[in-house]
């Protein structure tokens, strides 16, 4: 790996400059021009590096970039996305969200970690390997622009229609992070996801709040509907919601017990007094990784600006997301949510699906997981923590489930990366360590896949 190390050191400024250039593109959902610009920029960089590229464009969605580099009997699919979350609230950013800035050894910008930083670390790892003697395997890139929108169904159709183009032995998934003690987290799967919007309506237009004595308030209507979704212990109380949740297998229980979750560090970083229901130890880890969730992500009704405005809103809405586990399906969950609201007298509250992903996971003993853990150990000098499933979601099932291939995720994030929040950032040392880790992983995975069984 000495040649890779030297190449990374010699091109560090170039690598950082490219990451900044990509982060400057405000590729948030709904900004079609910026999404297209980000896709074109990525395709251009990969093609310049010698990859065989193809840019797939669609009339009703952002482009997908596919690329192929290297050759050999082992093929690795690399999945990333170039779309990013909206930067609001803007007043909580220390800098402009789409103007990268470096301070205290960190790069601040929307997308610095999720997911442009991880994508560029992989592109740079491939470049460094190629320059230092050649890629040890064939690498295929799949880079899309709807992960943050939850458009898993569209991606699944693309994967089914281009299965041969994307066929691989395994997949390096989107991202991961280090915990508060600097230990790399290697993840083997993701929860499923369902995003919805609930809307309650009242009068035709906003009214003076003095009418609250006789006119129904949709904000209160929505609050009551939301309150029916969780009980006093913050457990999901939607009828039948957890019917398919199965007990953990002995292997899963063993994996939970092996995870040294840093409770104190997590609380300190996020300013928490404690966890839901006072969870701790194995119960906390089990809930974090394997329990369904119901989260209110945003609320809007009436006037929310500075000062007071005596208004009775005509409409109130809430954005929610649900994480779910294997054997649960988004279709069944959406139907149960509707039935639950109807049964409690909230038939007038509208439910709109905003996106969904299916859950998926790879066994912790798979060769791709072992190669990732070994690479993380080699480059960080720390013992990695292997999560059998991550608490977040993405189109893992739509891609790897459709292709029938195992996957693993590791990345450049840190406990304070602030993904989806103001001041998203990466530690620059983690970025360059991440490039080295990607390169070490590719070498190890290529060797493991070439080795005969029992060899």
* For residue 118, cis peptide bond before it (omega within 30 degrees of 0): no
In a shared domain, residues 19 and 129: yes
Beta-ladder partners of 185: 385
Answer whether residue 250 is part of any domain.
Answer: no
Beta strands 407-408 and 170-172: pairing type?
parallel
Please report the sign of the dihedral spanned by the C-alpha atoms of residue 175, residue 178, residue 184, residue 189.
negative
Q: What are phi and psi of 357, to 5 degrees?
A: -135, 150
Domain that holds residue 231: 192-245+291-357
pLDDT at 403: 98
Report CA-CA distances (Å) from 149 to 26, 131, 175, 205, 423: 15, 36, 17, 30, 21
In a shared domain, residues 322 and 235: yes
Q: What are phi and psi of 410, to 5 degrees?
A: -150, 160
For residue 143, which of 119, 121, 124 has the smallest C-alpha distance? 119
CA distance 86 to 308: 27
As a dihedral over the C-alpha atoms of residue 406, residue 438, residue 65, residue 389, rounded to 10 degrees, the angle is 40
Q: What is the DSSP letter of 149?
A: G
Contacts 24+ apart (CB under 8 A), 343-350: 343/239, 344/225, 344/228, 346/221, 346/224, 346/225, 346/228, 348/200, 348/201, 348/221, 349/198, 349/199, 349/200, 349/221, 349/222, 349/225, 350/197, 350/198, 350/199, 350/200, 350/201
- Those residues whose C-beta lies under 8 Å from the C-beta of residue 184, and which sit 6 or more positions away, are 176, 178, 376, 377, 380, 382, 384, 385, 410, 437
Q: How many CB atoms lie within 10 A of CB 258?
A: 12
Please report the sign of the dihedral spanned by the C-alpha atoms of residue 270, residue 272, residue 276, residue 279.
positive
Q: How many CB atoms lie within 10 A of CB 356?
A: 25
In a shared domain, residues 227 and 183: no
**CB-based contact 159:399 (threshold 8 Å):** yes
For residue 413, which of 437, 389, 394 has the smallest C-alpha distance? 437
In a shared domain, residues 440 and 313: no
Q: What is the CATH number of the domain that holds 205?
A: 3.30.70.360
- Those residues whose C-beta lies under 8 Å from the C-beta of residue 361, and which sit 6 or more positions away, are 188, 189, 190, 326, 388, 389
pLDDT at 27: 98
In a shared domain, residues 333 and 443: no
| Number of domains the chain is built from | 2
In a shared domain, residues 49 and 182: yes
Answer whether residue 99 is part of any domain.
Answer: yes
- Those residues whose C-beta lies under 8 Å from the C-beta of residue 14, and which sit 6 or more positions away, are none
Answer whether residue 77 is part of any domain.
Answer: yes
In a shared domain, residues 15 and 89: yes
**CB-based contact 162:66 (threshold 8 Å):** yes
* Domain endpoint, select from 308, 331, 357: 357
In a shared domain, residues 154 and 204: no
In a shared domain, residues 332 and 350: yes
Beta-ladder partners of 311: 208
In a shared domain, residues 155 and 223: no
**CB-based contact 441:122 (threshold 8 Å):** no
* Domain endpoint, select from 357, 372, 396: 357
In a shared domain, residues 151 and 237: no
* Domain endpoint, select from 339, 357, 375: 357
Answer whether residue 254 is part of any domain.
Answer: no
Question: What 3-state class would DSSP assign to 130?
Answer: helix
Tens-digit pLDDT string for the chain (455 aa): 789 999 999 999 999 999 999 999 999 988 999 999 999 999 999 999 999 999 999 999 999 999 999 999 999 999 999 999 999 999 999 999 999 999 999 999 999 999 999 999 999 999 999 999 999 999 999 999 999 998 888 999 999 999 999 999 999 999 999 998 999 999 999 999 999 999 999 999 999 999 999 999 999 999 999 999 999 999 999 999 999 999 998 988 998 999 999 999 999 989 999 999 999 999 999 999 999 999 999 999 999 999 999 999 999 999 999 999 989 999 999 999 999 999 999 999 999 999 999 999 999 999 999 999 999 999 999 999 999 999 999 999 999 999 999 999 999 999 999 999 999 999 999 999 999 999 999 999 999 987 654 44
Please state the pTM of the whole predicted model. 0.93
Q: What is the CATH number of the domain that holds 114?
A: 3.40.630.10
Report CA-CA distances (Å) from 440 to 68, 88, 370, 377: 19, 37, 12, 10
CA distance 259 to 262: 9
**CB-based contact 278:406 (threshold 8 Å):** no
Our CA angle for 401, 173, 196, nearest 5°, is 70
Answer whether residue 259 is part of any domain.
Answer: no
Q: How many CB atoms lie within 10 A of CB 30?
A: 9
Answer whether residue 32 is part of any domain.
Answer: yes
Report the chain's C-alpha Rg in angstroms: 23
Beta strands 52-58 and 61-69: pairing type?
antiparallel
H-only helix segments in 102-249: 116-131, 152-161, 163-166, 218-227
In a shared domain, residues 169 and 200: no
Answer whether residue 258 is part of any domain.
Answer: no
Answer whether residue 313 is part of any domain.
Answer: yes
């Amino acid at each position: 790996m000495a040649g890779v190390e030297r190449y990374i050191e010699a091109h560090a400024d170039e690598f950082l400059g490219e990451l900044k250039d990509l982060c400057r593109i405000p590729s948030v959902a709904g900004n079609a021009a910026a999404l297209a610009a980000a896709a074109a920029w990525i395709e251009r960089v990969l093609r310049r590096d010698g990859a065989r590229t193809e840019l797939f464009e669609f009339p009703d969605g952002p482009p997908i970039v596919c690329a192929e580099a290297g050759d050999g009997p082992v093929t690795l699919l690399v999945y990333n996305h170039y779309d990013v979350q909206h930067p609001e609230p803007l007043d909580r950013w220390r800098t402009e969200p789409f103007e990268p800035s470096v301070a205290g050894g960190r790069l601040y910008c929307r997308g610095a970690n999720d997911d442009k930083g991880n994508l560029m670390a992989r592109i740079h790892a491939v470049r460094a390997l190629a320059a230092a003697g050649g890629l040890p395997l064939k690498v295929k890139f799949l880079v899309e622009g709807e992960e943050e929108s939850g458009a898993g169904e569209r991606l699944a159709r693309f994967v089914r229609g281009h299965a041969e183009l994307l066929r691989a032995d395994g997949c390096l998934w989107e991202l991961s992070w280090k915990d508060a003690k600097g230990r790399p987290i290697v993840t083997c799967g993701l929860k499923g996801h369902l995003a919805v919007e609930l809307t309650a309506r009242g009068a035709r237009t906003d009214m003076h709040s003095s009418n609250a004595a006789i006119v129904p308030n949709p904000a209160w209507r929505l609050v009551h509907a939301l309150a029916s979704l969780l009980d006093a212990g913050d457990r999901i109380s939607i009828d039948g919601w957890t019917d398919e949740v199965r007990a953990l297998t002995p292997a899963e229980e063993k994996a939970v017990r092996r995870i040294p979750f840093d409770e104190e560090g997590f609380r300190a970083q996020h300013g928490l007094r404690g966890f839901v229901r006072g969870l701790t130890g194995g119960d906390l880890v089990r809930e974090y990784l394997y329990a369904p969730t119901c989260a209110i992500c945003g609320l809007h009704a009436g006037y929310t600006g500075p000062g007071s405005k005596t208004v009775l809103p005509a409409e109130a809405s809430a954005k929610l997301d649900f994480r779910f586990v294997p054997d649960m399906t988004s279709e069944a969950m959406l139907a149960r949510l509707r039935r639950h609201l109807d049964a409690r007298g909230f038939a007038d509250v509208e439910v709109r699906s905003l996106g969904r992903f299916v859950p998926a996971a790879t066994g912790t003993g798979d060769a791709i997981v072992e190669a990732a853990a070994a690479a993380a150990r080699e480059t960080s000098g720390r013992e990695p923590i292997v999560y059998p499933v991550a608490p977040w979601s993405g189109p893992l099932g739509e891609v790897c489930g459709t292709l029938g291939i195992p996957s693993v995720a590791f990345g450049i994030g840190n406990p304070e990366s602030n993904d989806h929040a103001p001041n998203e950032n990466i530690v620059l040392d983690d970025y360059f360590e991440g490039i080295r880790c990607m390169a070490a992983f590719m070498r190890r995975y290529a060797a493991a896949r070439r080795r005969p069984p029992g060899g």
